[in-house]
Amino acid sequence: MDDAELDVLLRNERYPRAAAYSGRWMVDGAMGPNPVWQAEALTELMPLEPGMRVLDLGCGTALSSVFLAKEFGIEVWAADLWVQPDENLRRVVEAGLEGRVYPVQAEAHALPFAEGFFDALVSIGAYHYFGTDDLYVGYFSRFAKPGGRIGIIQPGLAEEYETLPPPHLEPYWQWDFCAWHSPGWWRRHWEKTGLVAVEVADRLPDGWRDWLQWNEACDLDSGTPGREEAQMLHADAGRTLGLTRVIARRNS
Ligand SMILES: C[S@@+](CC[C@H](N)C(=O)[O-])C[C@H]1O[C@@H](n2cnc3c(N)ncnc32)[C@H](O)[C@@H]1O
């Protein structure tokens, strides 16, 4: 597929900022639901001001880090475990953001930063890999200044089910989808610590449609990230699968 065709498949009026970025660049860095769209959805409700220092934890190929630095004039520490920082530095340099996006290899439980260093923390399509532990937000939130915001967005179900999988998703289910929690679950998970004040915990409106559009475009282009996930989203048709968005402030 040529790049112009791909751009057409990825046209989505919901994300006007993301429309300025090449579809090829986004698909080449794909690791899950489009991180640039997710970053735009998160920052609709999470204010970022020029000059802020922001941690993007679990940034993968750093597409969201590049997007956030460009769109909001912030400095971003692009931290990830599986993707090597030299690979991300290449993308950062290509985007003309050397000195504004800093790729770092980091494990979520051993972050190489000073407490209170960041004005804001984000995690896109990644927090559910390490953040479901009751105590994790107590560790993570320390890296934000008091009053600083923490925003996450990742796959989630609309509600918590007594048993998993929901029957209609049985043919597609993988065990680790058990970490796809609902907005209500995340709200309680964070609020019960008393360390953060949750401002937003919602299902991204039509998030499942964006996720499906993205998967179908990726599949048509290169067969990734997997047709099965698109079939699952079709079968569900927005009943329970979607993207969960949570924004909180670190208490003083
Ligand atoms: C599905 S990928 C999403 C990457 C990117 N944010 C995106 O949306 O395309 C999940 C990312 O979480 C990161 N991750 C998983 N466990 C981690 C951990 N314990 N510490 C740091 N990063 C982790 C992985 O390295 C991976 O890049």
**Distance between Cα 131 and ligand 1 center (Å):** 11
- Least reliable range by pLDDT among 45-54, 114-123, 223-232: 223-232
Give me the percent of the chain exceeding a pLDDT of 90.
95
What's the pLDDT score for residue 236?
97
What's the pLDDT score for residue 224?
64
Atom 14 of ligand 1, nearest CA residue: 58
What's the pLDDT score for residue 1?
86
Length of the chain measured in residues:
252
What's the pLDDT score for residue 34?
97
Ligand 1 mutation pick, 82, 139, 177, 211, max ligand atoms within 8 A of CB: 82
Around ligand 1, the residues with Cβ closer than 6 Å are: 31-32, 35, 58-60, 64, 80-83, 107-108, 124-126, 129-130
Residues 159-211: tens digit of each pLDDT: 999 999 999 999 999 999 999 999 999 999 999 999 999 999 999 999 999 99
Residues 51-82: tens digit of each pLDDT: 999 999 999 999 999 999 999 999 999 999 99
How far are the Cα atoms of 21, 76, 133, 155, 185 from residue 47, in angstroms, in the given order? 21, 15, 27, 22, 23
- CA–CA separation, 162 vs 178, rounded Å? 11
| pLDDT at residue 223 tops 80 | no
Atom of ligand 1 at shortest distance to CA of 33? Answer: 8
Show the tokens assigned to 60: 């993968």
What's the pLDDT score for residue 133?
98
Q: Which of the four CATH numbers 2.60.420.10, 3.40.50.150, 3.40.50.2300, 3.40.1550.20 does domain 32-166+174-205+241-250 have? A: 3.40.50.150
- CA–CA separation, 46 vs 8, rounded Å? 28
| pLDDT at residue 225 tops 60 | no
| pLDDT at residue 29 tops 60 | yes
Atom 10 of ligand 1, nearest CA residue: 126
What's the pLDDT score for residue 237?
97
What's the pLDDT score for residue 226?
65
Residues 5-28: tens digit of each pLDDT: 999 999 999 999 999 999 999 999
- CA–CA separation, 252 vs 244, rounded Å? 26
**Distance between Cα 139 and ligand 1 center (Å):** 17
Strand 144-157 and strand 118-124: pairing?
parallel
What's the pLDDT score for residue 227?
80
- List, edge to edge, every strand of the sheet that includes 118-124: 101-105, 75-80, 53-57, 118-124, 144-157, 241-250, 196-203
- CA–CA separation, 157 vs 243, rounded Å? 8
